């Protein structure tokens, strides 16, 4: 088992409870860790036997921009389920979602959550 990861994927979207947040795009930052059995890919140098992280990154962008959530918690849980359902080779996925503009006096606020096939 290996961790295939994407670090600091930036996605511009409209999300938030505050009135001002409903009218402007904010940049969300995603760190994505996917537990994947890479033996088949490594043995045969075969992309089809692993997870294509470029495809996952594009899915995260498309999914996030298509949502109309108020809370990052709602977005994150929906995204975890979507990615796990879309990629059978992922046995577990953990995503950290950071929202830099959430608290003016802080670098960012965020949430980390995981989902596995056993849950």
Contacts of 114 (CB under 8 A, 6+ apart): 80, 92, 93, 94, 95
Find, among 49, 57, 106, 111, the residue nearest to 83 by Cα: 57
Long-range contacts formed by 54-57: CB under 8 A, 24+ apart: 56/6, 56/32, 56/83, 56/87, 57/6, 57/9
Any catalytic annotation for residue 99? yes
Identify the active-site residue in 10, 25, 81, 99: 99
Give one DSSP letter per residue of 3-17, joined into a string.
Answer: EEEEEEEEEEE---S
- Give catalytic residues, as residue numbers: 99
């Amino acid at each position: 088992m290996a961790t295939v990861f994407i670090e600091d994927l930036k996605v511009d979207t409209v999300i938030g409870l505050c009135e001002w947040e409903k009218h402007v795009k904010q940049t969300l930052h995603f760190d994505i860790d996917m537990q994947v059995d890479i033996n088949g890919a490594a043995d045969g140098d075969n992309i089809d036997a692993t997870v294509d992280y470029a495809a996952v990154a594009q899915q995260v962008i498309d999914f996030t921009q298509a949502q109309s959530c108020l809370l990052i918690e709602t977005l994150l849980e929906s995204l975890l389920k979507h990615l796990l359902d879309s990629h059978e080779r992922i046995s577990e996925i953990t995503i950290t979602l950071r929202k830099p503009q959430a608290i003016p006096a802080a670098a960012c606020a965020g949430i980390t959550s995981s989902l596995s096939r056993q849950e």
